[in-house]
Structure 1
């Protein structure tokens, strides 16, 4: 099984292997074009990586894992997982049920992201307010300095 460990210079033994992407984002884009489960952002079946390797034997495992991480960590995917009842294979056929644990995990990740974003925006607002207060303080000091330097 030498094809499974080959690099970007893999021979074109399968149509998908011929277009071996060089980055995780490029691979994800290719997966979204080829497979309904990725295109429609459906909850993926457990072991989807093995299905991908079976269909795309020349696929670089490291790039594949990174692409799967990008996909399954996306807001769209997490929102789908939060409400999902079943998982889907590459072709979009329903499979195993999504467990409550997995739904809860997706919900927690979304809540963490929302909180992190809210905290970031709050910090930005506070920094802007502090900057404005400093600017006003400097203007007052300059006004006082000019007022007393004339006498």
Structure 2
């Protein structure tokens, strides 16, 4: 027997090849037992999902929450500009400069902090006293950032957040007391999508104004009381009164009455 005849035959590459090999063995006069099939590959059960451990707060932020719970505690308050220097001056030996800078950066980029800014809250000093109005552009950009984060949040139910965002932009714009042109100059940037949302909000704001003005003209022509007028058109008296007051303020602003508290125009 040659060395070649003693070497084992290679295993068939497929089921069809295995059947052909078995037939050849039978024709040779000796039936070969089929090899035991290899056991099916088993995949171990996937480990159950392990909940992510909560993020460990930055140690300096924990320290700040202990010192100033009214600013860094359960409720976040917008911080006055220059709070970094105020903290170093108040606690010269408590904080390492770079660590404090990093901690404040984490804090002011957090969603909870941005929500406070987006709400238009005033900036606060270390004593928790409001000392400075929030700049309109800071409110606007915080609104956009909170919207982006909510929109991209995993597992969030499908919801159109744009109408709420437009409403909040309108409210922030009116609270600023600026003209449309001045507000636009402050907040418009390079983000075309954000700029488009602003234009949509302005269009909705203009439509509301036109509706309120038309309602005021109809009310004045009717000679009715507010309750009678609202009942005539199937409207809520309270909502109708708010729209009429809005229209009166717009009219006063158009006439240049400085004593009128007017929506931004």
Q: Bin the TM-score by the shorter chain.
A: 0.5 to 0.7
Across the aligned residues of Structure 1 and Structure 2, the Cα RMSD in angstroms comes to 2.4
Q: Figure out how many residues of one structure are paired with residues of the other and give that number.
A: 100
Which SS does the other structure have where 2:127 is aligned? Answer: coil
Deviation digits for residues 86-138 of structure 1 (CA, Å, limit 9, x no counterpart): 1101110110110111111211211221233259999xxxxxxxxxxxxxxxx
- Please tell me whether residue 43 in structure 1 is matched to residue 75 in structure 2: no
What are structure 2's unaligned runs of at least 5 residues?
Answer: 1-55, 159-265
TM-score, normalised with respect to structure 1: 0.59
User: Per-residue deviation at 1:34?
Assistant: 0.8
Is contact 1:88–1:95 with CA below 8 Å preserved after alignment? yes
Query: 8 Å contact 1:87–1:94 — kept in the other structure?
Result: yes
> Aligned partners of 2:98 and 2:155: how far apart in 1?
33
Secondary structure of 1:117's aligned partner: coil
Q: Does 1:29 align with 2:62?
A: yes
CA contact (8 A) 1:43 1:86 kept: yes
Matched, 1:116 2:145: no
Flag the 1:82–1:63 CA change in 2: closer, same or farther, 3 A: same
Query: Residue 138 of structure 2 aligns to a residue in which SS?
Result: helix
* Residue equivalent to 1:52: 87
- Higher-Rg member (1/2): 2
Identify which of structures 1 and 2 has the higher relative contact order when contacts are C-alpha pairs closer than 8 Å and 6+ apart: 1
Measure how far apart 1:24 and its partner are.
7.3
CA distance in 1, matches of 2:154, 2:99: 32
Structure 1: distance between partners of 2:108 and 2:132: 17
Greater share of helix: 1
What is the CA–CA distance in structure 1 between the aligned matches of 2:99 and 2:57, rounded to whole Å?
A: 5
Q: What residue is the counterpart of 2:102 in the other structure? A: 66
Equivalent in 138, 142, 154 of residue 102 of structure 1: 138
Structure 1 gaps, min length 5: 1-22, 123-151
